[in-house]
A and B are shown apart, each in its own frame.
Chain A
Amino acid sequence: MGETGCKHFQAYVKEQSLDTFRIIDAYFSACVNKDAREKKALSCCCFECGSYGLQVYACLHCIYFGCRGAHIATHLRAKKHSIALELSHGTLYCNSCRDFIYDTRCREIAGVNRRLEAKDLSKSLSWQPWIPTPKETNLLLANPRRRRIRANETIGLRGLINLGSTCFMNCIVQALIHTPLLSDYFLSERHECNAKSSLKCLVCEVSRLFQEFYSGSRSPLSLHRLLHLIWNHAKHLAGYEQQDAHEFFIATLDVLHRHCIKAKTEVESANKLNNATSSSGSGTGGGSGSGGHNTNTNTNVNSNCPTQCNCIIDQIFTGMLQSDVVCQECKGVSTTIDPFWDISLDLGETAHGGSTPKTLIDCLERYTRAEHLGEYGKIKCSTCKSYQESTKQFSLRTLPSVASFHLKRFEHVSTLIGKKVSTFISFPVELDMTPFMSEKNNAYGDFRYSLYAVVNHVGTIDSGHYIAYVRHHKDTWVKCDDHIITTATLKQVLDSEGYLLFYHKNILEYE
């Protein structure tokens, strides 16, 4: 059903339909293209005072623009026109009601126009506030008690029992649970899965984990079901013994990604089946049986094309790495772009001497530095049609919402002999990724990140233990040592060795 404005608006729509609204919104509110922008810049000013500012309203009955307040009100009252459109936010205003009104169909039209605007300007869609559906409103009313997450309260924190050298898993789970975008996704129940697959679905298991973490219960959790699921779906990790937390992190993301796709295709085929049966069986009136109208309007998930995957894991963790190879002979550049979930950083000495890195920024600078591949690393140049010496340089084409860094502290000389690099690498709590981007001149871009989780390996390569620091609240950190959760200071976090570092983008962009 949706919102229908007020009775004055309904009378207006009967008379004039929504066409005028659509045009005015497209040209003077959302500006869907260059022509619209020109028309707005030249003609959309207050007929009283000539102001072009942000407070202009357009009458929807006739051609008239007026500033908010007396200028538009006078016109509306004089001409007995009720409905106007506030142009800055595209909101309907009824002068008879002296109030803003809301109509679902208009909101849909406005949505279309804003997508056109975003496309035309090559920008992401502006943030829109969440509007609860009637179903959600009822849920909220039926469940009026609210659980709040506070800096000095334990809601959102739980210990995790060590099941026998499983501290690596405990740390990764703590980091994931404290990833804001992930917790938003799961706590708003965005994952759909049919009941049969639920027990075999890792995404459902993580969803259950979130419920546990926010339940208010204080006893530690056991991740035995999660371990079983991971061992089933990432065979290379199965087997009891201490694992590498980084490997476990990547494997977990991979299984979650696969299960997201699986659940989505199952839901989509179930929907198709439902629509098919309902359209063939319906003999009742109305348009309910119109074949092919798929209620599932999500974008396609093409699991063969990595750049198109829309699952929550890819939305949060996937960035694009650009690799530029420059032929030293003809200076021609060959560019490839590949997806990544994390960035592994070398800590040792560079090939051409120079100092070893001391900070995360040093590591990133080295990572994105142009590297001369030398005479033994000649690459075939398609322009020169021969093997030439070249330089190779990495840069970040697009950044993920969560940037995870892996400091390569474990070196293996052979399968039996290895050593751990324990040098202190200092890392910041605020990190600006702009210098490492492929495109550095993006005036509107904001590439700042905040640290929110650190996984540390304590001990030697043969006998060690993992602990994690996570950011419980803006200025509150806790230390997670299996089932023992204690308070921690930012200084403790920043002074720690650091093996896996998790940063969250401050400003998010929407598509």
Chain B
Amino acid sequence: MASSSDSTLAAANIDAKNEKNSNITVSGKTSANNTKMTIATIQKAYHDILKDPTSLDEAAHYLYQSLLDDAVVGVFLEIHHLHRTGNLDALDGVPEEGTDASYRIVDMPNYDIFGISSVKKLMDCTCPNCDRPVSASRFAPHLEKCMGMGRNSSRIASRRLATKEGTSASSSSSSSYLQTTVGTDDEDDIDWSSEKRRKKTNQGNRNNGSKKNNGKSF
């Protein structure tokens, strides 16, 4: 990055400094040698400081203090800049009109943090696949059949629609689920959430504690 003209400025500066410290002898030595000597001097003095526990302590305290003061200036500059650009007020916005009590967390037995008693919610949602309204707590079983993944499902068309989207994350298809899925189309009305079966596929299991990711594609 430094061209020859760049270093002239800096070099000129060093010469000016050297003239101030008249303990540098004027001789045939180049300024580069002088530099090397001074650097070595600094490093020797520094090592001497570090070797002695008291001065090491002093050095650490000095550094902490001056770096802390410097950090204060840094924060000040940040705020100063925001102030100059008018962003300080922009960031602040308008002050809130008193604390809005309606967001306060409720901490009482039999109530959740919103102050609602723990009652099962009945909600509807719209199935993104078939656009029909479906009861939320039965959405998952509906979706399975809707996307043609249920064991006895004959909705090949919706399956084609589903497989058009995105790529398969793995070669093991939903066939492993077909073996273990229980139930037929007749069981739409049964509340599945009461029957929670846990299944873990063997897909991607490695020995040595699976350090790599299951199903992570690169």
With an 8 A cutoff between CB atoms, is A382 at the interface?
no
Residue pairs across A and B with Cβ atoms less than 8 A apart, 6 shown, are A132-B85, A155-B103, A161-B121, A244-B198, A462-B197, A463-B198
Q: Is B169 within 8 A of A240, CB to CB?
A: no
Q: Is B196 within 8 A of A465, CB to CB?
A: yes
With an 8 A cutoff between CB atoms, is A397 at the interface?
no
With an 8 A cutoff between CB atoms, is B45 at the interface?
no
- Report B137 CB to chain A, min CB distance, Å: 6
Q: B35 — which chain A residues lie within 8 A by C-beta? A: 38, 42
Q: Is B85 within 8 A of A35, CB to CB?
A: no
Q: B198 — which chain A residues lie within 8 A by C-beta? A: 242, 244, 410, 459-464
With an 8 A cutoff between CB atoms, is B55 at the interface?
no
The one of A54, A141, A143 that contacts B67, using a Cβ cutoff of 8 Å: A54
Q: Is A243 within 8 A of B139, CB to CB?
A: no
Q: Is A224 within 8 A of B136, CB to CB?
A: yes
With an 8 A cutoff between CB atoms, is B26 at the interface?
no
Q: A367 — which chain B residues lie within 8 A by C-beta? A: 209
Bitwise, A477-509 to B at CB < 8 A (1) or not (0) is: 010000111110000000000000000000000
Q: Is B141 within 8 A of A240, CB to CB?
A: yes
On whether A144 and B94 interact (CB within 8 A), knowing A23-B10, A341-B216, the answer reads yes
Q: Is A254 within 8 A of B215, CB to CB?
A: yes
With an 8 A cutoff between CB atoms, is B14 at the interface?
yes
Q: How many angstroms between the C-alpha atoms of A90 and B71 in the bound complex?
A: 13
Q: How many angstroms between the C-alpha atoms of A484 and B109 in the bound complex?
A: 12
Q: How many angstroms between the C-alpha atoms of A394 and B210 in the bound complex?
A: 12
Question: Which of A214-222, A288-296, A438-446 contacts its partner?
Answer: A214-222
- Report A31 CB to chain B, min CB distance, Å: 12
Q: How many angstroms between the C-alpha atoms of A116 and B1 in the bound complex?
A: 10
Interface size class of B (residues with CB under 8 A): 35 or more
Q: A157 — which chain B residues lie within 8 A by C-beta? A: 113
Q: Is B2 within 8 A of A251, CB to CB?
A: no
On whether A255 and B136 interact (CB within 8 A), knowing A146-B93, A154-B103, the answer reads no
Which residue of chain A has the shortest Cβ distance to B145 in the bound complex? A240
Q: How many angstroms between the C-alpha atoms of A116 and B198 in the bound complex?
A: 54
Chain B, range 165-203, C-beta contacts under 8 Å to A: 165-170, 172-174, 177, 180-181, 192-193, 195-203
Which residue of chain A has the shortest Cβ distance to B206 in the bound complex? A344
The one of A146, A241, A343 that contacts B211, using a Cβ cutoff of 8 Å: A343
With an 8 A cutoff between CB atoms, is A380 at the interface?
no
Q: A116 — which chain B residues lie within 8 A by C-beta? A: 1
Q: Is B212 within 8 A of A340, CB to CB?
A: yes
Q: A216 — which chain B residues lie within 8 A by C-beta? A: 103
With an 8 A cutoff between CB atoms, is B6 at the interface?
yes
Which residue of chain A has the shortest Cβ distance to B100 in the bound complex? A153
Q: How many angstroms between the C-alpha atoms of A240 and B36 in the bound complex?
A: 74
With an 8 A cutoff between CB atoms, is B157 at the interface?
no
Q: B165 — which chain A residues lie within 8 A by C-beta? A: 200, 232-233
Q: Contacts A55-B73, A237-B169, A242-B199 given; 14 further ones with Cβ under 8 A?
A: A27-B2, A33-B1, A42-B38, A100-B77, A132-B91, A153-B103, A163-B137, A227-B143, A235-B173, A236-B203, A238-B144, A241-B177, A244-B199, A340-B213
A→B interface (CB under 8 Å): 3, 20, 23, 26-27, 32-33, 35-36, 38-39, 41-43, 45, 47, 53-55, 63, 88-89, 91, 100, 102, 116, 129, 131-132, 137, 140-141, 143-146, 148, 150, 152-155, 157, 159, 161-166, 200, 216, 218-220, 222, 224-225, 227-228, 231-244, 247, 250-251, 253-255, 258, 303-304, 306, 321, 338-346, 367, 394, 408, 410, 412, 415, 418, 459-465, 478, 483-487
The one of A137, A145, A218, A235 that contacts B93, using a Cβ cutoff of 8 Å: A145
B→A interface (CB under 8 Å): 1-2, 6, 9-10, 12-14, 16-17, 20, 35, 38-39, 42, 66-67, 69-70, 73-74, 77-78, 80-81, 84-87, 90-94, 96, 103-105, 107, 112-114, 116, 118, 121, 123, 125-129, 134, 136-141, 143-144, 147, 149-150, 162-163, 165-170, 172-174, 177, 180-181, 192-193, 195-203, 209-218
Q: Is B216 within 8 A of A140, CB to CB?
A: no
Q: Is A483 within 8 A of B14, CB to CB?
A: no
Q: A250 — which chain B residues lie within 8 A by C-beta? A: 213-216
On whether A321 and B137 interact (CB within 8 A), knowing A23-B9, A240-B192, the answer reads no
On whether A165 and B172 interact (CB within 8 A), knowing A154-B103, A227-B143, the answer reads no
Most chain B beta-carbon neighbours within 10 Å: one of A152, A242, A459: A242
On whether A88 and B73 interact (CB within 8 A), knowing A154-B103, A154-B113, A463-B196, the answer reads yes
The 6 closest A-B pairs by CB, nearest first: A164-B140, A239-B177, A240-B144, A233-B166, A140-B90, A144-B93
Q: Is A161 within 8 A of B136, CB to CB?
A: yes
Q: Is B174 within 8 A of A23, CB to CB?
A: no
Q: Is B174 within 8 A of A239, CB to CB?
A: yes
Q: Is B213 within 8 A of A154, CB to CB?
A: no
Which residue of chain B has the shortest Cβ distance to A44 in the bound complex? B13
